[in-house]
Chain A
Amino acid sequence: MRKSDMSSPVYIAGVGVVSAIGNNVAENLAAFERGEAGMGEITLLDTIHQGKLPVAEVKLSNHELAVMTGMPADLSRTILLSLVAAREALTDAAIPSPDSLRMGFVSANTVGGMDKSESFFIDFLADNKKGKLKNVYDHECGSVTEIVADALGIKDFITTLSTACSSSANSIFYGARLIKNNMLDVVVAGGPDALTKFTLNGFNTLMILDPEFCKPFDEHRQGLNLGEGAGYLVLVSENVAKSLNKEMYCRLSGYNNSNDAYHQTASSPDGTGSYMAMTSALKKAGLQPSEIDYINLHGTGTPNNDNSEGMAIKRVFDPKYPPMSSTKSFTGHTLGASGGIEAVYSVLAIKHGIIYPNLRFAAPMSDLPFEPEKYFLKGQDLNHVMSNSFGFGGNCTSLIFSKT
């Protein structure tokens, strides 16, 4: 292994996002300021849950996404969403001579090309000789990453992670470590996920979908709304940061991946995994809890997650709580994409001095001595922002971004 310097900072040089509240960074920021959530009726999936369960769809058809990206419209929606956000991030970073640098693409998703596999299986199950093979060819999570890497022209290092709903938070800090270990100079890291019948029905069987718009961290919350999208950061080494003719957004100062080791899908009542992720990320960043200026919560809106995350936050931050909010009240829970999308929001919070509102919050949770921020706040001086992402399998990840 080449010489590494774990103390060398990793900077964020570019950001890109597509979600139910906008097709790029500017549209997402504008929707936050207007306080406009992205949930609505299901229009894209052919499902019996149409008209019953709200979801947060990206407001573009596959055809529109294909035109936007210059890709074939019969590709998985996950690929198209990924390319929209990853390309925006790379364009934003404006790296003048990428060919002279070691570039990587580290992406994460939970169900790969499942939207296409679902149509394949309808014909395949009736007759194993039937079903359009093209629709199952990119079923693998890694295929999604590979096609996007090719479209971006990145080939020095590509890989895919999948740790359920913490997936793309893990891809971001894996990317940062590839730079710190001196294996790469630039990494585009994050992840996509598209709405599928597979995940919609999966979460529905667990009875954790709210039939109304979700209410994260509210005493009367009833569950999550599924969403879709993609979010990516361009991570660069200190040398690359110095060579770029632009101001860096911030740096990734802390990160940790811990496991709750409590249950395959449920979180422990005291939030063991999330407590460990937050405290260890703080330690990595060399920060005290009181130095965190904003927390972008995992905040799915399920009774279990918000209770567990809330108890962990109480243990870490009591008695001084920073402003915090769940942007899933705007975007829905975008599963494997959520860590990447919320990392973009956290980076933008530092850059623009903003705190996002937690929509539809009315009643504080009885066990918690704090409540989320209800209003869009501007002109904030944010030095350190924490982003939480927790998933099935006990996977808990916290990232900390700090002003440069």
Chain B
Amino acid sequence: MKIYIRSSACISPQNTFRNESFLGGPVAYFGTRLNAIEPDYKEFIDPKLLRRMSHIIKMGVAAAAECLNRSAIEMPGAILTGTAYGCLEDTVAFITRIVEQNEEMLPPTSFIQSTHNTVAAQIALTLKCHQYNNTFVHKGISFESALTDAMMLLNEGETDNILVGGMDEMTDTGFTILSRLGLYKRQPVSNLDLYATASKGTIGGEGAVFFLLTDKASGDNLAELTAIRTIYKPGSQKDIENWIIAFLAENALAVNDIGLVISGRSGDIRQDNIYKELNTSLFQNNALANYKHLCGDYPTSSAFALWLASNIVKNKNVPSITIERGGGAESPGRILIYNHYQNTYHSLMLVSAT
């Protein structure tokens, strides 16, 4: 059975939401943290509800609504989300009040909205969608876990269209703590020169990206989501190579069949060596693209990569701002997304032209 991406919607630090120019005018930032460019939410969310909603809920609900608009499907057969950190803003707000008010006179709103399934729940509530609703919260493969669930549901014949998204929000507290944990660069950088600065740390990012997955072929589909695979703590670089080769072989492909490899290079020298080695060995003849300089690094950023890949095969155009090597001449029919998160979780997504 083939699984297709019918539509997508992406809120990110770039002008990706309802923008006809496909990353034509990349937004430059100088710093170590990229914040999402927010649409006018009033079109998607009742203003009364909007006031109470945190950043991630607004981004998620709006991206989901726009994705559905673009699919011409009113009611999805399932709603799935992946988020590593969940509703961080509300979580921190509630903890802060517990500490500062010594557990007294606490308002319930931030607690109510702190549960990790809030975005998926709010989408269901908005649509009055009673169908399967699930949320995955597993670090760097939260989005991949949700996609795996979606592909299984389609495979099982439970439904024929599924709304699935990946989202995380960058908050001040999250940024401070993750900086102390050494995730980000110590000096500000220009995001568009991210790969030119050889130093430790990456730049933080955020976003909400939704897809409508279906098993129905149509000329309107963006792309085929051919396969997805994750691996946990591979032992060596050779293990990663063998794993990629085996994944392609299972899909009756060799590495030369891949028109473009989108990799999760983050600008962190501690993380990027794995990509660099692959790019001169297994992927030595492949065109290469990057994406984290555009959306920043965050655990569900692979959703941005899938948005990029599916729109590349649809538009038959690789945005120049993403290209690391080659990729000019022919539009790629098959794209392999390879991302790893802290060298702990590695994921592969294979996207093909329909």
- A and B form one complex: yes
A residues within 8 Å of B by Cβ? 1, 4, 6, 47-49, 110, 112, 117-118, 121-122, 124-125, 128-129, 133, 136-137, 140-143, 145-146, 149, 155-164, 170, 174, 177-178, 180-181, 197-198, 201-202, 204-206, 257-265, 272-273, 276, 391-395
Interfacial chain A residues near B227, Cβ < 8 Å: 1
Interfacial chain B residues near A257, Cβ < 8 Å: 132-134
Given A121-B96, A161-B137, A197-B103, is A155 in contact with B124 using a C-beta cutoff of 8 Å? no
Whole-angstrom CA separation of A163 from B135 in the bound complex: 6
The 5 closest A-B pairs by CB, nearest first: A393-B121, A202-B111, A162-B116, A205-B108, A142-B139
Proximity string of chain B (52-78) to chain A, C-beta cutoff 8 Å, 1 when within and 0 when not: 000000000000000000000000000
Interfacial chain A residues near B1, Cβ < 8 Å: 1
B57 to chain A, nearest CB (A): 10
Whole-angstrom CA separation of A159 from B82 in the bound complex: 11
In the complex the two chains form, is A261's CB within 8 Å of B117's CB? no
In the complex the two chains form, is B137's CB within 8 Å of A122's CB? no
In the complex the two chains form, is A393's CB within 8 Å of B118's CB? yes
Q: Which of B137-164 contact A (CB under 8 A)?
A: 137-139, 141-142, 145, 148-149, 151-152, 155-157
B345 to chain A, nearest CB (A): 9
Whole-angstrom CA separation of A164 from B92 in the bound complex: 18
Interfacial chain B residues near A110, Cβ < 8 Å: 115-116
In the complex the two chains form, is B181's CB within 8 Å of A197's CB? no
In the complex the two chains form, is A140's CB within 8 Å of B111's CB? no
Q: Which residue of B lies closest to A160 (CB)?
A: B138
Whole-angstrom CA separation of A122 from B130 in the bound complex: 40
Given A158-B232, A265-B112, is A142 in contact with B98 using a C-beta cutoff of 8 Å? no
In the complex the two chains form, is B176's CB within 8 Å of A259's CB? no
Interfacial chain B residues near A143, Cβ < 8 Å: 139
Interfacial chain A residues near B136, Cβ < 8 Å: 159-162
Interfacial chain B residues near A129, Cβ < 8 Å: 180
Q: Which of B92-139 contact A (CB under 8 A)?
A: 92, 94-96, 98-100, 102-104, 106-108, 111-118, 120-122, 124-125, 127-139
A282 to chain B, nearest CB (A): 16
Q: Which residue of B lies closest to A263 (CB)?
A: B125
Q: Which residue of A lies closest to B144 (CB)?
A: A159
Interfacial chain A residues near B149, Cβ < 8 Å: 174
Given A181-B156, A201-B106, is A136 in contact with B177 using a C-beta cutoff of 8 Å? yes
Whole-angstrom CA separation of A160 from B299 in the bound complex: 14
The contact sample of 23 A-B pairs, CB cut-off 8 A, is A1-B151, A1-B227, A128-B176, A137-B181, A142-B142, A157-B232, A162-B115, A162-B116, A162-B136, A163-B120, A163-B135, A164-B117, A170-B134, A181-B155, A201-B94, A206-B108, A258-B131, A259-B129, A261-B129, A264-B121, A391-B115, A394-B125, A395-B121
Whole-angstrom CA separation of A110 from B129 in the bound complex: 23
In the complex the two chains form, is B108's CB within 8 Å of A261's CB? no
Whole-angstrom CA separation of A177 from B136 in the bound complex: 15
Given A142-B84, A142-B139, A162-B117, is A155 in contact with B127 using a C-beta cutoff of 8 Å? no
Whole-angstrom CA separation of A180 from B180 in the bound complex: 43
Q: Which residue of A lies closest to B109 (CB)?
A: A205
In the complex the two chains form, is B98's CB within 8 Å of A264's CB? no
* Partner pick for B141 among A47, A159, A163, A204, CB 8 A cutoff: A159
Whole-angstrom CA separation of A205 from B114 in the bound complex: 13
In the complex the two chains form, is B100's CB within 8 Å of A261's CB? no
* Partner pick for B156 among A4, A49, A162, A261, CB 8 A cutoff: A4
In the complex the two chains form, is B96's CB within 8 Å of A125's CB? yes
Whole-angstrom CA separation of A121 from B99 in the bound complex: 8
Whole-angstrom CA separation of A272 from B125 in the bound complex: 13
* Partner pick for A258 among B100, B130, B180, CB 8 A cutoff: B130
Give 8 A-B pairs besides A4-B156, A160-B145 with Cβ atoms closer than 8 angstroms: A1-B151, A142-B138, A145-B138, A158-B138, A161-B135, A162-B117, A164-B117, A177-B152
Q: Which of B98, B115, B122, B227 has the most CB of A within 10 A?
A: B115
B205 at the interface (CB under 8 A from A): no
Interfacial chain B residues near A162, Cβ < 8 Å: 86, 115-117, 135-137
Interfacial chain B residues near A48, Cβ < 8 Å: 102-104
Interfacial chain B residues near A155, Cβ < 8 Å: 232-233
Whole-angstrom CA separation of A143 from B141 in the bound complex: 12
B112 to chain A, nearest CB (A): 5
In the complex the two chains form, is A261's CB within 8 Å of B124's CB? yes
Given A1-B1, A48-B103, A121-B95, is A205 in contact with B111 using a C-beta cutoff of 8 Å? yes
Q: Which of B325-345 contact A (CB under 8 A)?
A: 344
In the complex the two chains form, is B108's CB within 8 Å of A202's CB? yes
Interfacial chain A residues near B79, Cβ < 8 Å: 259
B138 to chain A, nearest CB (A): 4
* Partner pick for A259 among B95, B104, B131, B232, CB 8 A cutoff: B131
